[in-house]
């Protein structure tokens, strides 16, 4: 039976709980324990995939096809444990499940209430896979006191009483604001946050306090006294230069030891932090820097491309260089020449996205990279735009475009070299979709196999010809144009096992120009950089030496 750690938040930054949860998971692993991390999101987004990146940041996709909160990306990057559909649930999904149960007659006509029906559904979700790991870390989204979160807090309160004594603890993250005018840290927000938590029946065992300044011993004692925790369980969380310093920083502050003490695990295995020491060494001891442009349309909110930025950082670690990422708004190129905006970069990355806005700018970025021999990585829509650019400027299809843009405009304007994907093979079954289906149910989601062409650039990068990667798209490059495009030099170097769906394209006369239909960034980790990102950054390093 797993031990449960419930992580709640007071006044913390958006990365506070997710980062602390991921770092704690990594520390417990370093001590030889198995872990799994879960996210309970109190908000009503049944399907995060239908939300705007401006609202929710990136959508993280799991191997089994779940569209989840970006915090699950942190969990995977820090622990290496692949997330599953059962590792994330929203309030909307919980309520939807309860309504479905009621309509099936599971409640035998009883009046449906938040307690016990909604809270029981949440508890059932928390208990999935209970016997698989030593520790289950469950992060409760939002802030204590939010009206949306009350059923979740009540559920974890009940859950802790349902389990044997000593099987569950609570960790609470708060902020210690520093008032420069008076030169003091204020503990009142933490005291009030804990008081709010206690008022709903939950007493934290560990406090993690975000602070810009060192926490004096006197303040630790004050927090411990007024929040009813041991002084050793008041853990400082200081600002860091890199999120990958968090496991070592939290270990230095005693977070993992505080957790083991709370569970009365003694003696405990000593941690092996070699991996994280190597990660820290690669962050701080670099041999130069490269400048990479990300040409996208969600550049106002960097969290929309969170995994891509982190994967580039991992690629930098693999090559011991610092990666300077610059966000370039693709819409600027709709009105202006791309060259002045892209001069000076050592590589260009065009990420995924939905809708026509900004796509002409992405096409110009692909053209610039192809003509100037600048390393280019196109991901999902970024691959499709590279194919459209090739069709227009090399294959003579001047009106080449995507069915997505025609569907959005409501009229036919383009020769669709990219079309709406209506069927594909998943396992041993054929999946069919229609344009008119609900938006959240029309995509090809999750991990799929691909076969790489012998002797291709990507086969060299991967070191083999069989791969599996995570997908999230509803439009696909049309195989009908393959011969026409390959005659111009654009090689279809990766295909689905049945040979029907293009997965990877590359230019045969370019030093490094690769477009992929999947999302390699979702599998990259600091201690195991994704091969595409590692080699992309290596190519950028070579370009930087030529400039």
Catalytic positions? 380, 519, 521
The pair of structure tokens assigned to 520 is 């390699």
| Contact (CB, 8 A) for 25 and 75 | yes
- According to DSSP, the residues that pair with 6 across neighbouring strands are 138, 170
| Contact (CB, 8 A) for 449 and 467 | yes
| Pairing status of strand 206-211 against strand 168-175 | parallel
d(CA 454, CA 462): 11
**For the chain, what is the total number of helices (H) and then of strands (E)?**
20, 25
d(CA 340, CA 372): 13
Residues 6+ apart with CB under 8 A from 54: 298, 300, 301, 304
Query: Among 327, 328, 387, 334, which residue's Cα sits nearest to residue 513?
Result: 387
d(CA 168, CA 158): 11
Query: Among 344, 310, 326, 351, which residue's Cα sits nearest to residue 473?
Result: 351
- Residues in the chain, how many? 547
- Count CB atoms within 10 A of the CB of residue 534: 19
| Contact (CB, 8 A) for 327 and 380 | no
d(CA 72, CA 48): 12
Query: Among 179, 532, 129, 543, which residue's Cα sits nearest to residue 374?
Result: 543
| Pairing status of strand 347-350 against strand 376-379 | parallel
The pair of structure tokens assigned to 422 is 């209506």
Query: Among 141, 95, 138, 101, which residue's Cα sits nearest to residue 118?
Result: 95
The pair of structure tokens assigned to 2 is 């797993």
The pair of structure tokens assigned to 387 is 């194919």
Cα 376 from chain centroid?
Answer: 22
Three-state SS string across 424-460, please?
Answer: EEECCEEEECCCCCCHHHCCEEEEEEEEECCCCHHHH
Q: Could you tell me where the beta strands, DSSP code E, fall in 239-321?
A: 289-296
- Count CB atoms within 10 A of the CB of residue 488: 14
Q: Could you tell me where the beta strands, DSSP code E, fall in 181-247?
A: 184-185, 206-211, 234-238
């Amino acid at each position: 039976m797993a031990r449960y750690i419930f992580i709640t938040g007071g006044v913390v930054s958006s990365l506070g709980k997710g980062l602390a949860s991921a770092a704690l998971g990594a520390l417990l692993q370093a001590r030889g324990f198995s872990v799994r991390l879960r996210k309970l999101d109190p908000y009503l987004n049944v399907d995060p995939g239908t939300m705007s990146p401006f609202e929710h940041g990136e959508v993280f996709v799991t191997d089994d096809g779940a569209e989840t909160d970006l915090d699950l990306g942190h969990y995977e990057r820090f622990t290496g444990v692949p997330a599953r559909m059962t590792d994330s649930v929203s309030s909307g999904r919980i309520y939807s499940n309860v309504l479905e149960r009621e309509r099936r007659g599971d409640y035998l006509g009883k009046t449906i209430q938040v307690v016990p029906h909604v809270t029981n559904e949440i508890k059932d979700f928390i208990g999935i896979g209970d016997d698989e790991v030593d520790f289950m870390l469950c992060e409760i989204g939002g802030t204590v006191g939010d009206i949306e979160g009350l059923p979740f807090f009540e559920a974890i309160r009940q859950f802790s009483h349902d389990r044997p004594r000593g099987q569950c603890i609570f960790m609470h993250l708060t902020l210690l604001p520093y008032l420069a005018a008076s030169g003091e840290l204020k503990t009142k927000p933490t005291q009030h946050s804990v008081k709010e938590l206690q008022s709903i029946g939950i007493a934290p065992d560990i406090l993690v306090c975000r602070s810009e300044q060192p926490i004096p011993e006197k303040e630790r004692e004050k927090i411990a006294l007024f929040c009813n925790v041991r002084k050793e369980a008041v853990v400082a969380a200081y600002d860091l230069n890199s999120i990958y310093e968090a496991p070592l920083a939290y270990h230095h502050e005693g977070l993992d030891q505080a957790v083991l003490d709370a569970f009365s695990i003694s003696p405990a295995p000593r941690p092996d932090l070699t991996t994280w020491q190597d990660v820290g060494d690669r962050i701080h001891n670099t041999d130069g820097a490269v400048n990479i442009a990300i040409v996208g349309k969600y550049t106002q909110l960097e969290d929309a491309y969170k995994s891509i930025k982190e994967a580039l950082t991992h690629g930098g670690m693999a090559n011991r260089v610092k990666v300077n990422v610059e966000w370039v708004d693709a819409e600027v190129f709709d009105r202006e020449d791309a060259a002045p905006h892209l001069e000076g970069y050592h590589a260009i990355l065009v990420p995924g996205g939905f809708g026509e806005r900004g796509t002409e700018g992405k096409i110009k970025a692909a053209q610039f990279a192809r003509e100037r021999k600048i390393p280019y990585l196109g991901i999902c829509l970024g691959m499709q735009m590279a194919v459209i650019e090739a069709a227009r400027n090399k294959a003579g299809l001047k009106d080449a475009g995507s069915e997505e843009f025609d569907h959005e405009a409501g009229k036919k304007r383009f020769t669709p070299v990219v079309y709406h994907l209506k069927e594909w093979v998943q396992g041993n079954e054929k999946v069919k979709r229609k344009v008119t289906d609900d938006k959240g149910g029309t995509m090809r989601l999750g991990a799929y196999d691909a076969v790489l062409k012998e002797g291709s650039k990507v086969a060299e990068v991967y070191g083999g010809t069989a791969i599996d990667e995570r997908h999230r798209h509803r439009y696909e490059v049309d195989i009908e144009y393959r011969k026409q495009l390959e005659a111009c030099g654009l090689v279809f170097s990766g295909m689905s096992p049945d040979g029907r769906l293009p997965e990877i394209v590359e230019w045969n006369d370019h030093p490094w120009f690769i477009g992929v239909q999947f999302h390699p960034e979702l599998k990259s980790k600091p201690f195991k950089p994704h091969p595409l990102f590692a080699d992309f950054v290596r190519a950028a390093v070579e370009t930087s030496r030529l400039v």
